[in-house]
A and B are shown apart, each in its own frame.
Chain A
Amino acid sequence: MNTKITEQNNELVAQFEGRLDTAAAPQTEKELAPLADCAGKNIVLDCNALEYISSSGLRLFLGVLKGAKAKGSHVYITGMNDDIRNVFNMTGLTNLFEFR
C-alpha cells in the first residue's frame, strides 16, 4: 500500500495505490497526516489505483472528511472502481463525500 500526497492547483491530492486493509491502515493514517493542514485548500482522494478498502480505510477517509469540514474545505473522491463504490454505498458514505 502506497500513499502519496501532492499539491496540484491549490488542492491537496492523496493518491492511493494497493490495498487499504486493516494491516495497512496505521501506516496510511500516518501518511495522511499532512492533510490535516488543509486550510483554504480542498482535498482530492485519488482512488484510481486503490484496489481494496476495508472499514479501517473507510474510517481514515471519514477522519479526513471530518478534519477538512472543520476547516471549511471540501473533500473530493475520484477514480473509484465499482467494487469500492459499492462498499461506500453499503456503508452510506456515498452521501457524505463529493465525487469527481
Chain B
Amino acid sequence: MKERNKFSKWFRSLQTRSSLALLITAAIFVQLSGAIQYFYARNGIRKAVQQQARTEIQVRNLEIQNVVTNVETAVNNMQLILNWSVDNPEGIYGVLETIIRTNPTITGCAIAFEPGYYPDKGRWFEPFAGRDENGNIVHRQIGSQEHDYFNAEWYKVSRETDSASWTEPYFDDAGSKALVCSYTMPVYDSKGRRAGTFCSDVSLDFIIDLFGAKNSAYTYLASRTGHLIASPDKTSVMNATLDDVANYFNDSMIDRVNAAMLAGDSGDAELHSKDGEKSYIFYAPVEGNTGWSMAIIYPDKEIYQGVRSVGRILLILTLVGFGFLIYIMWRTVRGFKKLQAVNAEKERIGGELRIASGIQMGMLPKTFPPYPDRDEVTMAGTLVPAKEVGGDLYDFYIRDEKLFFCVGDVSGKGVPASLVMAVTRSLFRTVSSHEDSPERVMKQMNNAMSEMNESSMFVTLFIGVLDLHTGRVLYCNAGHNPPVLIGKETRFIEQDSNIPVGLMPAWDYTLQDGQMESGDLLFLYTDGLTEAENTVHGQFGEERMMERLRSLGHTPHAVVDGMTEAVHTFVADAEPSDDLTMLAIQFVHPIEENEGRKSEGGGRSITLQNDVQQVPQLAAFVEEVAEGVGLNPSTAMSLNLAMEEAVVNVMNYAYPAGTQGDIDITACKTKGMLTFTITDSGTPFDPTAKSDPDITLAAEDRPIGGLGIMLVRQLMDEVLYERKDNQNILTLKKKI
C-alpha cells in the first residue's frame, strides 16, 4: 500500500508527468517512423516480388520453351525421314529409335497409322519406340483394339488440323505409360497421302519437376483447355483445372485471371482466399504453340512475413527499450526528488542560518556613533563572520558614567561558536550589570561557562571599563589579542597572562588599569585581523597592523574603515578564513573639553571631614559651582539642599562615631548635566537603600528622620550609589 502510494505520488509529480509526456511523444514518433518504414518496405518488397515473379515466369517459360522447341525442332527435322519410312515400313523402328536416342527429352515416340494403312498390319498399327526401366531403348507395336488410338483426342485433333501441334496432357497407357504431352505431326507417304500421325511424348514429370515447390510461391502451368499440367501438388496434375483454382479463391478476380490465361494474356492481380488471406497472382503464356499458360501465386502472408517479423521484433525491442527508459526515468526522477529534498533541506538550513545570523547581529550594538549626545566617547565597530554565523563578539554599554565594553573570540567557527558567542554576550551583560570590576566580571563569567562547558569550547575575551569622567580604564584580558592604544605613541597595552574563559573554573583573573588621555583611541580586534590570510597563505600580522594603525586617521571610524580596507586589499580574492571583528573607542576628557570654561564650575572638588560643622564650606562650594554654571538662585538652593542632605547623611553614617574620615566631593559639568560625586572611605553605606518616610502621617506620628534622602531624590534627577575599591561613591546628577 505504501509502495503504491509512493508510486502514485511519483506518478503525479510534475517531473514524472513531463518526462512521461516526453517519452510518449518519442514513442509515437518511433512507432510512426516504424510504420512509415514498414509501409515503404512493403512497397519495396511488393515491387521486388513482382519482379521476382516475372523473372520466375520468364525463367520457367524459357525452360519449357527449351523442351518444347527441342522436341519441335527434332520432330520437324525428322519429317522427311519419317515420310520416307512410311514407304519403307521395315525401317520405321530404326527411325523411331534414332529419335529417342538423339532426343533425351522425348520419352517415347510412335507413328499412329491411319486405319488399315498397311493391309497386312491390321486396322490398328502404331509402331512405338521408347526406353524401358533400365533406360534401354526398346520398340513395339502398341496399336490394338484395346489401345484404340483413333478415338484419342490427339489423333482426332491432328487429323482435323492436319498440322503439327501439341496435345493436351494425357496418360499414355500404351506407349510411355506415363503422364505425357505429345507433339503430333502428320506423316505422309511419297504420294503425299496422309499415312498417319507421328506422336512424340514428352513426360510431364520433366516439366513437373520444374514446378516443384520452390519457397512459398505456388506455380502452376495450365493447358489451353484449362487443365493443370504442372503444379507443386502432383496429385492435382491432370485432375484439377483452373476452375478448381478459382474455387479456392472467393474472388471474382480469379475468373478474370483464368479467362486471361486461357486467352494467352499476361498480367497480375490481387486475390483473396475464402479465409480472407491475400495473395498475388502473376501469369503469362508459354511462348510457342503449346497454348499453355503459367501462373505464380504469392501469398501475401508469405511475402511480408519477413518484414512483418522484423516489424514485430522491432516493436518488441522498442517496447522493451521504452520499459527500460521508464525505469531509468523513474530512477532519475526519484534521484532528482532526493536531490530536491536535500536541496530543500539545505535551503531550510540556509534560511535558518540567515535568521540566526540576523539574531546574532541583532545582539551587537551596530549603530555608530552609539552615543551621539555624548562628547566623552566616540566609537566605531565592525564584525564580519566568515560563515553565516560566527564566534566573534563585541559589546558595550554605558552604566553609571562608565563604558563597559568587551571583545571576544570563541574557539571554532560556525553554529557551535555562535551559540557560545550568544551565551558569552548574555553573560557579559548580566554579570556586568551588577559588577563593576572587569576581573570580577571575567571570573563570574568564567565560572558560569566552565561549569556548563561540555564541548570544551572557550572564549578569549577582553573586558574593559572606561570611566567617562576620568579616562581611567580598568581591564581584564582573558587570553585575547592585546588591544592597541593609539595616543602619543601607538602601542599594545600591557597584559597579564590569563587563561581564556571557559577552560577552568575558579581561575583568578587579574585586574589591570591604564589611563586614556583625552583624544586617545583604544583599538580592539580579534585574530581574524592579524591572521587574515591572502591567497598564498601569508598572514596580515601584528606588524602590518601596527604600521597601518600609525598611519590611519585619528578617529574611530577612520581606524576601523581604514583597517577594513587594508585587510581587504591584503586578502584580495582569498576565502575569508576567520571572523573579523574590530572595535575602536576614543575618549575625550569632558573637563578638558570644558577647560576654557573652568569658571563655569566644571571639574571642581572639595574635601570635607566627617563633621557637620563643615556644611557651610559645602554650601559655599555648591554655591560656587552653581554660580559657575550660571544657575538661578532657586536651583542653586535646591542643589545646596540636596548636597547638604547627601553629605550630612554620609558624615553621620559612613564613619563610626568618634572616627575621622574624609569626604571627597567633585562636581563636573557635562553636556546639560551637572554631576556631583561624593566619595568616602567609610563603612559601606547606601543611602539610596532607605525608603522614604510616610509624609501623610500626623505631626505626632511623623518620625523625625528620613526626610533628607527623600529631599535628595526629589531635588536631583539621578542618584546612584556604588561601593568600589572600599569606597562609597554617591553620584548626584541634575539636569541643567
Q: Which residues of A contact B (CB under 8 A)?
A: 19, 21-23, 52, 54-56, 58-59, 62-63, 65-66, 69, 82-83, 87, 90-93, 95-96
Among the listed B634, B698, B700, which residue makes an inter-chain contact with A83, where contact means beta carbons less than 8 Å apart? B634
Q: Does B707 contact A (CB under 8 A)?
A: yes
A59-B704, A90-B710, A91-B695 given. 11 additional CB < 8 A pairs? A22-B615, A22-B644, A59-B705, A69-B700, A83-B634, A83-B637, A91-B707, A91-B710, A93-B695, A95-B695, A96-B699
Among the listed A23, A59, A91, which residue makes an inter-chain contact with B612, where contact means beta carbons less than 8 Å apart? A23
Centre residue among A22, A56, A90 by max chain B CB count within 10 A: A22
Among the listed B612, B698, B705, B714, which residue makes an inter-chain contact with A90, where contact means beta carbons less than 8 Å apart? B714
Residues of B within 8 A of A96 (CB): 698-699, 702
Within 8 A of A (CB), among B665-709: 695-696, 698-700, 702, 704-705, 707-708
Q: Which residues of B contact A (CB under 8 A)?
A: 612-616, 619, 633-634, 637-638, 640-641, 644-645, 648, 695-696, 698-700, 702, 704-705, 707-708, 710-711, 714-715
Among the listed B619, B633, B638, B707, which residue makes an inter-chain contact with A21, where contact means beta carbons less than 8 Å apart? B619
A-B contact pairs, 14 of them (CB 8 A): A21-B615, A22-B615, A22-B648, A54-B708, A55-B645, A59-B705, A59-B707, A69-B699, A69-B700, A87-B641, A90-B714, A91-B695, A92-B696, A95-B695
CA distance A66 to B699 in the complex (A): 6
**Residue contact B704 to A62, C-beta cutoff 8 Å:** yes
Residues of A within 8 A of B696 (CB): 92, 95
**Residue contact A58 to B634, C-beta cutoff 8 Å:** no
CA distance A83 to B634 in the complex (A): 6
**Residue contact B707 to A58, C-beta cutoff 8 Å:** yes
- Select from chain A the residue with minimum beta-carbon distance to B635: A83
CA distance A95 to B701 in the complex (A): 13
CA distance A91 to B693 in the complex (A): 9
**Residue contact B614 to A23, C-beta cutoff 8 Å:** yes
Residues of B within 8 A of A21 (CB): 615-616, 619, 644
Among the listed A54, A56, A62, A83, which residue makes an inter-chain contact with B702, where contact means beta carbons less than 8 Å apart? A62
**Residue contact B702 to A55, C-beta cutoff 8 Å:** no
- Select from chain B the residue with minimum beta-carbon distance to A26: B612
CA distance A23 to B651 in the complex (A): 12
Residues of B within 8 A of A83 (CB): 633-634, 637-638
CA distance A54 to B622 in the complex (A): 14
**Residue contact A63 to B704, C-beta cutoff 8 Å:** yes
**Residue contact A92 to B612, C-beta cutoff 8 Å:** no
Residues of A within 8 A of B707 (CB): 55, 58-59, 91
Residues of A within 8 A of B615 (CB): 21-23
CA distance A19 to B619 in the complex (A): 10
Centre residue among A52, A92, A96 by max chain B CB count within 10 A: A92
Q: B686 → chain A, closest Cβ, in Å?
A: 18
Residues of A within 8 A of B640 (CB): 52
CA distance A67 to B348 in the complex (A): 81
- Select from chain B the residue with minimum beta-carbon distance to A93: B695
CA distance A69 to B708 in the complex (A): 24
- Select from chain A the residue with minimum beta-carbon distance to B715: A90
Centre residue among A54, A65, A92, A95 by max chain B CB count within 10 A: A54
- Select from chain A the residue with minimum beta-carbon distance to B714: A90
CA distance A35 to B438 in the complex (A): 58
CA distance A19 to B612 in the complex (A): 14
CA distance A45 to B619 in the complex (A): 24
CA distance A54 to B643 in the complex (A): 10
**Residue contact B699 to A22, C-beta cutoff 8 Å:** no
Residues of A within 8 A of B700 (CB): 66, 69
CA distance A23 to B652 in the complex (A): 12
Among the listed B634, B648, B698, which residue makes an inter-chain contact with A56, where contact means beta carbons less than 8 Å apart? B648
- Select from chain A the residue with minimum beta-carbon distance to B701: A66
Residues of B within 8 A of A91 (CB): 695, 707, 710-711
CA distance A90 to B716 in the complex (A): 13
- Select from chain A the residue with minimum beta-carbon distance to B637: A83
CA distance A69 to B698 in the complex (A): 11
Residues of B within 8 A of A59 (CB): 704-705, 707
Q: A31 → chain B, closest Cβ, in Å?
A: 17
Among the listed B616, B638, B695, B711, which residue makes an inter-chain contact with A55, where contact means beta carbons less than 8 Å apart? B711
CA distance A63 to B633 in the complex (A): 29
Centre residue among B699, B704, B708 by max chain A CB count within 10 A: B699
Q: A67 → chain B, closest Cβ, in Å?
A: 10
Q: B101 → chain A, closest Cβ, in Å?
A: 170
Q: B609 → chain A, closest Cβ, in Å?
A: 13
Residues of B within 8 A of A23 (CB): 612-616
Residues of A within 8 A of B708 (CB): 54-55
Q: Which 4 A-B pairs have the closest CB atoms?
A: A92-B695, A23-B615, A55-B707, A55-B708
- Select from chain B the residue with minimum beta-carbon distance to A1: B616
- Select from chain B the residue with minimum beta-carbon distance to A97: B699
Q: A46 → chain B, closest Cβ, in Å?
A: 20
**Residue contact A54 to B644, C-beta cutoff 8 Å:** yes
**Residue contact B641 to A54, C-beta cutoff 8 Å:** yes
Residues of B within 8 A of A63 (CB): 704
Residues of A within 8 A of B641 (CB): 52, 54, 87
- Select from chain B the residue with minimum beta-carbon distance to A61: B699
CA distance A67 to B714 in the complex (A): 29
Q: B636 → chain A, closest Cβ, in Å?
A: 10
CA distance A3 to B637 in the complex (A): 21
CA distance A95 to B698 in the complex (A): 8
Residues of A within 8 A of B704 (CB): 59, 62-63
Residues of A within 8 A of B648 (CB): 22, 54, 56
- Select from chain A the residue with minimum beta-carbon distance to B696: A92
Q: B606 → chain A, closest Cβ, in Å?
A: 15
Q: A77 → chain B, closest Cβ, in Å?
A: 13
CA distance A47 to B633 in the complex (A): 18
Q: B726 → chain A, closest Cβ, in Å?
A: 26
- Select from chain B the residue with minimum beta-carbon distance to A84: B637
Q: A33 → chain B, closest Cβ, in Å?
A: 17
Q: A97 → chain B, closest Cβ, in Å?
A: 8
